[in-house]
Structure 1
Amino acid sequence: MKRPATVARPEHGFTLVEMLVAVAVLAIAMAAILSGMARYADNTAHLRERTLALWVAHNRLTEIELQPKWPDVSKSDGDMEMGGRSWRWKVEVKKTEDPHLRRIDIQVLSPNREGNAATLSSFIADTGRQ
């Protein structure tokens, strides 16, 4: 009896070209993921800075509102500690068309970047003030 000729079975697995394509696709995907995470971290730091700056502006506005004396039309500036940083603020008190209202514009300067970190505008009335 004759033995049947063995049929060549195809080998299972990936070729070198298929592996290179798979690694290239993985590298592109990983680069996109890392880039997205870096943007997320940068945005988080920026939002934290803006939040602290707005707190500084609201604190300064509250200090002005709690003063018993009606604020004069003027400009002032100063420093305030918040979140382990020293923030610079600038306040401008302006007249309005209504003699019983004053407009308060507050700018908070960032200790790390150029320009304003936050700007806040509000109106206060002379009700109950001297």
Structure 2
Amino acid sequence: MTEHDTGFTLIEALVAMAVLAVASAGLIRATSAHIDLIRGVEARTIAGWVAENRLVEATLPAAATLPATVTMLGRAWQVTTTAKPSDDPDLAAITVSVTPQGATQPMATLRGFRDARSIAP
């Protein structure tokens, strides 16, 4: 061997580049899946906040005037609030469902109680 034979051959360099390309594609796919997961967690968190806000608003005297669509953090949410009698005649059971605009399934649902004599939503 001479001093010129100590480097990588073209085949070795191509194999190394192919391994890096496959590893990079896997890393990009994993990163994309992680971003989708984080977006889902973010959306569920915002939907939970909308539901919590609506549950509190439903206990206020002006609960009959609550809008069906709420915008929070730049996203539109459909909010459905239902009240029905509970086993205790002094309390009404409230269910709040929050659905992203254009979706069919609620992303968050909360249940609570309020004074049965207050105005129904």
TM-score when normalising by structure 2: 0.75
Check if 1:25 corresponds to 2:25. Answer: no
Larger Rg: 1
Higher relative CO (CA 8 A, sep ≥ 6), structure 1 or 2?
A: 2
Note the aligned Cα RMSD (angstroms): 2.8
Unaligned runs of 5+ residues in structure 2 are: none
Check if 1:118 corresponds to 2:112. Answer: no
Identity rate, percent:
35
The count of corresponding residues between Structure 1 and Structure 2 is 116
Unaligned runs of 5+ residues in structure 1 are: 1-7
Q: Contact 1:104/1:121 (CA < 8 Å) preserved in 2? A: yes
Considering fraction of residues, name the structure with more helix. Answer: 2
Q: Which amino acid is 2:75 matched to?
A: R
Q: Contact 2:59/2:115 (CA < 8 Å) preserved in 1? A: no
Q: Which amino acid is 1:9 matched to?
A: T
TM-score when normalising by structure 1: 0.71
Runs of 4 or more above 4 Å deviation: none
